[in-house]
Amino acid sequence: MEQEERIIELEIKLSEATKLSEELSDIVAKQANRLDIAERRIQLLMERAAQDEANSSNGITINDNLPPHW
Protein backbone atom coordinates (compact mmCIF):
# COMPACT_ATOMS: atom_id res chain seq x y z
CA MET A 1 0.00 0.00 0.00
CA GLU A 2 2.91 2.32 0.56
CA GLN A 3 3.57 2.54 -3.18
CA GLU A 4 -0.11 3.27 -3.90
CA GLU A 5 -0.12 6.08 -1.32
CA ARG A 6 3.01 7.49 -2.90
CA ILE A 7 1.41 7.42 -6.35
CA ILE A 8 -1.67 9.20 -4.99
CA GLU A 9 0.53 11.82 -3.36
CA LEU A 10 2.40 12.36 -6.63
CA GLU A 11 -0.90 12.67 -8.53
CA ILE A 12 -2.07 15.32 -6.06
CA LYS A 13 1.17 17.24 -6.41
CA LEU A 14 0.97 17.00 -10.20
CA SER A 15 -2.60 18.29 -10.11
CA GLU A 16 -1.58 21.22 -7.90
CA ALA A 17 1.40 22.00 -10.14
CA THR A 18 -0.83 21.92 -13.23
CA LYS A 19 -3.33 24.28 -11.60
CA LEU A 20 -0.53 26.65 -10.56
CA SER A 21 0.93 26.56 -14.04
CA GLU A 22 -2.45 27.50 -15.55
CA GLU A 23 -2.90 30.33 -13.05
CA LEU A 24 0.57 31.68 -13.81
CA SER A 25 -0.12 31.42 -17.53
CA ASP A 26 -3.26 33.52 -17.07
CA ILE A 27 -1.31 36.10 -15.08
CA VAL A 28 1.38 36.30 -17.75
CA ALA A 29 -1.25 36.72 -20.48
CA LYS A 30 -2.94 39.56 -18.56
CA GLN A 31 0.41 41.26 -17.94
CA ALA A 32 1.31 40.94 -21.64
CA ASN A 33 -2.01 42.57 -22.53
CA ARG A 34 -1.42 45.43 -20.09
CA LEU A 35 2.10 45.88 -21.46
CA ASP A 36 0.75 46.09 -25.03
CA ILE A 37 -1.74 48.75 -23.96
CA ALA A 38 0.97 50.72 -22.13
CA GLU A 39 3.26 50.54 -25.16
CA ARG A 40 0.49 51.85 -27.42
CA ARG A 41 -0.20 54.71 -25.02
CA ILE A 42 3.50 55.59 -24.84
CA GLN A 43 3.71 55.55 -28.63
CA LEU A 44 0.72 57.91 -28.88
CA LEU A 45 2.25 60.24 -26.29
CA MET A 46 5.56 60.24 -28.16
CA GLU A 47 3.78 61.04 -31.42
CA ARG A 48 1.82 63.82 -29.73
CA ALA A 49 5.01 65.27 -28.20
CA ALA A 50 6.75 65.12 -31.58
CA GLN A 51 3.80 66.88 -33.19
CA ASP A 52 3.80 69.56 -30.48
CA GLU A 53 7.53 70.06 -30.99
CA ALA A 54 7.07 70.32 -34.75
CA ASN A 55 4.28 72.85 -34.28
CA SER A 56 6.37 74.95 -31.89
CA SER A 57 9.30 75.03 -34.32
CA ASN A 58 6.96 76.46 -36.97
CA GLY A 59 6.30 79.48 -34.80
CA ILE A 60 3.13 78.11 -33.28
CA THR A 61 3.26 78.29 -29.51
CA ILE A 62 1.25 75.84 -27.52
CA ASN A 63 0.64 76.20 -23.81
CA ASP A 64 2.72 79.37 -23.60
CA ASN A 65 0.57 80.69 -20.76
CA LEU A 66 1.92 80.81 -17.24
CA PRO A 67 0.29 78.44 -14.77
CA PRO A 68 -2.32 80.04 -12.48
CA HIS A 69 -0.04 79.92 -9.43
CA TRP A 70 2.54 82.26 -11.05
Cα–Cα distance measured from residue 12 to residue 21, given in angstroms and rounded to the nearest whole number: 14
- Is residue 44 situated within a structural domain? yes
- Is residue 4 situated within a structural domain? no
Cα–Cα distance measured from residue 63 to residue 52, given in angstroms and rounded to the nearest whole number: 10
Cα–Cα distance measured from residue 47 to residue 28, given in angstroms and rounded to the nearest whole number: 28
Per-residue pLDDT tens for 3-41?
Answer: 999 999 999 999 999 999 999 999 999 999 999 999 999
pTM of the model: 0.61
- Is residue 40 situated within a structural domain? yes
Least confident of 8-12, 50-54, 60-64: 60-64
Cα–Cα distance measured from residue 70 to residue 31, given in angstroms and rounded to the nearest whole number: 42
Domain count, the chain: 1
Domain containing 30: what range? Answer: 25-54
- Is residue 50 situated within a structural domain? yes
- Is residue 39 situated within a structural domain? yes
- Is residue 3 situated within a structural domain? no
